[in-house]
Amino acid sequence: MEQKTFKEEYLEVLWYMKEDGNTSLAYFKDELGANFKQEVLEEIAAEGIVHTEDDRISLTEKGNNYTRQLIRSHRLAERLVHDVLGVEFEKGACEFEHILNPDLVDSICTLLGHPRECPHGMPIPEGECCRQRAQMVESSVMPLDQLEVGESARIAYVYGSSDQQIHKLDNLLVRPGSRVKLHQRQPSFVIECEDAMIAIDERVAADIHVWASSERNRLLRPHGRRRTRRGFRHGLGSSNR
């Protein structure tokens, strides 16, 4: 393993520890196991990336900024590989994170609708594009509750408050790749999916995301897309439009 890879692994472990509120140097060494090298730790400490004191270790402001972008790239790459490409995300994300520059990372974030979590459920660090809701590339996905009555679309991905909800929708064939048609909005949403009529509440409708048509992209672009609440995310296939 090259030193650069060691360095990135060290910083990723420190970021996970930061998320857990853990600053234990002993824990840090234990997490790295055989990959821990004292000389690498001394090198990144000399660069002003980490701070060690007694039995504590943490990222400095410089290290935090650097690692934040690394984690953001990795977790967005996981979303891209898992949701859009439909392949095993961990290996693919590791390959992607080293080639994504910040501008491209923000473009991918915008394309995916500024997702808040990676497929593992871990938070994706917010970027400037998220704060400004900049439309750097055309957004291709929209919540089902933004469809007009009579409009059809293919499901891109599904959020859920629990695995149980995801499984229930999946059993109804409300899953990535399925085509849905909105028949009614009040008093509840009624959709047609795989020749079956299904009633869902507004919250569930907002959690089902569909591929927007080209015309929809043009209509939605000036206003941006709203942020969806945190939750589990399921699948994603191609739009096949």
Domain ranges of the chain: 3-59, 64-132, 141-234
CA nearest neighbour of 177 among 240, 122, 85, 118 = 240
pLDDT of residue 209: 86
Q: What is the CATH number of domain 64-132?
A: 1.10.10.10
Whole-prediction pTM: 0.55
Q: What is the CATH number of domain 3-59?
A: 1.10.10
SS3 content of the chain, % helix, strand, coil (to 5): 45, 20, 35
Query: Under CATH, domain 141-234 is a member of which superfamily?
Result: Ferrous iron transport protein A (FeoA) (2.30.30.90)
pLDDT digits (tens, 9 = 90+) for 93-108: 666 656 567 888 888 8
Q: What is the distance between the alpha carbons of residues 115 and 75, in angstroms, rounded to a whole number?
A: 10
Q: Which residues contact 33 (CB under 8 A, 6 or more apart)?
A: none
Q: What is the distance between the alpha carbons of residues 23 and 52, in angstroms, rounded to a whole number?
A: 9
pLDDT digits (tens, 9 = 90+) for 34-86: 999 999 999 999 999 999 999 999 999 999 999 999 899 888 888 887 776 66
> Higher pLDDT residue, 28 or 169?
28
pLDDT of residue 42: 93
At 236, is the pLDDT very low, low, confident or very high (cuts 50, 70, 90)? very low
pLDDT of residue 17: 96
